[in-house]
Structure 1
Amino acid sequence: MAKTQAEAEIGLEEESGSKAGRILLFAVPILFTVVLVGVLITLMNPNTRNSVLETANKVPVVGSLLPKPTYTPEQQAERQKEQQAASAEATIDKLKAQLEQKNTELKTAQQAQADTQAQVDSLQKKLDDTQAQQEEQQAAAAAAPEEKEGPSDQVKQLARTYGAMSASKAAPILDTLTKEEIAMILNAMSTEQKSAILQRMTADKAAEVSIMLKNASSAAKLESAANAARAAAASAEQPAQKTTANGSLNQDQLSQTFSSMDASSASALLVQMSKTNQTKVLTILKSVDDSTRSNILSQMASTDSETAALLANKLIGG
């Protein structure tokens, strides 16, 4: 038992001695190197020595074993100047970088401002153009306030009705209207239709209607004039349209009555009336329009040619 403990102690001593030996093995070269470097530094030029020491002091472990550089007052002043110059140069470089960055930011801001101004100018130009266009439209409307309007639907319908008829039939019917009403209807027709109908009218009435068409500023004014003329004509015709005291029909009523009848019925009735009073028959035939009169006489000639010829002769002679 005692032998074992002694062996263990011996082993521990040997192990401790081995560790110490290894430490010395590494430490001795380092110390030697440090001493050698220190001797060499001592033998060097002061400037070179200081440079080497500055570099060596930056090395971990080794720097802590070496002495610090020593400078003369002149060297310290020169070194301080160099440090200040280096610091100033670094500051200048930093300021230059900041200035360049600010210039870049300024250029970016200026470009953005230029783009924004271009958009503002474009919108302002569009606004000015729109306002100028509106002013032109307003000026044109003020210069020509009474722009011609189209005829009313009723007048257009009348114009289509008369336009579908031949000029020889439409002209006599229109001739019974006032010249204002004729101008109102013709204004809604084409040039060819106007020309054909005016040729069938009397020269005086065609001239009057043509002048009214030339001077017409709008279809609405023509309609207003036609309405006024019709009202005046109706007012003037009221006494003539009244029945007589004994209840007989006037000429207009006779005309409307026989014009609304078919030609064969009117012809038969007038043949019978002519046997007792030809004067009344002639009055009735004179009251109707040319087309109705022609149809009645044609029908009468087919049934009673003698009576038809007698009445026709009296109409011509009368």
Structure 2
Amino acid sequence: MAKTETQADMGLEEESGSKAGRILLFAVPILFAVVLVGVLLTVMNPNARNTVLETANQIPVVGSLLPKPTYTPEQQAQRKEEQQAASAEATINQLKTQLAQKNAELKTTQQAQTDTQTQLETLQKQLEETEAKQKEEAEAAAAAEPKAEDKPSDKVKQLAQTYGSMSASKAAPIIQTLTDEEMAMILNAMNTEQRSAILQKMTADKAAKVSIMLKNAASAAQLEKAANTARAAVSSSDQSSQKTPSTSGSLNQDQLSQTFSSMDAASASALLTQMAKTNQAKVLTILKSVDDATRSNILSQMANTDSETAASLANKLIGG
């Protein structure tokens, strides 16, 4: 029993000695390093010593065993300036970094604005081209459409229909008794087929003159104005040679229209031809009172029997 206790005590002593040996194994080099550093610090100049202490103080365990660096007032001021310079440099570097980021963002924004402006300019150009094209198309359409002043008046249309319903051989002699301006006005209001047929039945001189007037005419209104001027000149010449008799009668316009519209064209033509020999004014009043178809039939029959009287009456119908 005693032996066992002795062995246990010996084991504890060996274990304690082993731990102490291990501690010494680590502590001795550290103490040696501290002593060595202390010797070196004593030998080194203050600046180098402070530098070594600053570095050694950052080492765990060792730093806690070493003294802190000591600085003279001049070194403290210089150290403070260096720290301020380092802080200022760090701030400047940070500001430079921020400035570079802002410049990059600004360039990106400017590029986006440039792209947007380019798109706007492209759209504006397309809009202007579209508007110009629409304007050209509208002008072309307006030029293709006949203007109101290029169309014959209703009165001229009715007269052209009257002659157009007659045969070309009968209408041509009557139309030739009109002034050149009146012939051009009436033929211009006809369709191409009617105009061509009548021109073939006219004398070559008259047909050529009227054709040139039709080619040079700017509009139907211009032809009508020239015809009215020419008729006014002829009427003025006629009035100077004889006085126009009164056209008043005992029957009103409706009664005259109904009377001659109910007659056949041959009878009405013969009656009006006889009346025209004594009073053309009354005949004109009667012809004006009937509709276009009746007037056309009467003048057609009258042209068969007395083309000269028919031409004279048609001439005055245009002038009236």
- The total of aligned residue pairs comes to 221
Corresponding letter in the other structure for 2:189: M
The yes-or-no answer on 1:242 pairing with 2:262 is yes
Corresponding letter in the other structure for 1:146: K
**Aligned with 1:110: secondary structure?**
helix
Partner residue, 2:294? none
The yes-or-no answer on 1:199 pairing with 2:214 is no
Give matches, 1:150-165, under 5 Å. Answer: none
**Aligned with 1:59: secondary structure?**
coil
Q: 1:172 to 1:239 in 2, by over 3 A?
A: farther
Corresponding letter in the other structure for 1:80: K
Instruction: Show structure 1 runs of 5+ residues with no match.
Output: 156-161, 163-169, 223-234, 244-248, 254-285, 291-318
Task: Percent identity, please.
Answer: 59
Match of 2:189 among 179, 184, 189: 184
Give the distance between the partners of 1:184 and 1:236, measured in 2 at CA: 28
Structure 1 vs Structure 2 CA RMSD? 5.1
Tell me if the contact between 1:53 and 1:67 (Cα under 8 Å) persists in the aligned partners.
Answer: yes
Structure 2 length normalisation: TM-score?
A: 0.50
Q: 1:150 to 1:104 in 2, by over 3 A?
A: farther
Partner residue, 2:20? 20
**Aligned with 1:93: secondary structure?**
helix
Q: Deviations over 1:172-197 (max 9, x none)?
A: 487599877754343x55xxx96575
Partner residue, 2:92? 92
Q: 1:148 to 1:61 in 2, by over 3 A?
A: farther
Partner residue, 1:60? 60
Tell me if the contact between 2:172 and 2:201 (Cα under 8 Å) persists in the aligned partners.
Answer: no
Give the distance between the partners of 1:252 and 1:176, measured in 2 at CA: 22
Corresponding letter in the other structure for 1:251: A
Give the distance between the partners of 1:10 and 1:150, measured in 2 at CA: 145
Tell me if the contact between 1:183 and 1:209 (Cα under 8 Å) persists in the aligned partners.
Answer: no
CA deviation after TM superposition for structure 1 residue 206, in Å:
4.6
CA deviation after TM superposition for structure 1 residue 139, in Å:
8.7
Give the distance between the partners of 2:262 and 2:9, measured in 1 at CA: 167
Partner residue, 1:217? 219
Corresponding letter in the other structure for 1:54: E
Partner residue, 1:34? 34
Give the distance between the partners of 1:205 and 1:252, measured in 2 at CA: 32
Partner residue, 1:269? none
Structure 1 length normalisation: TM-score?
A: 0.50
**Aligned with 2:21: secondary structure?**
helix
Partner residue, 2:79? 79
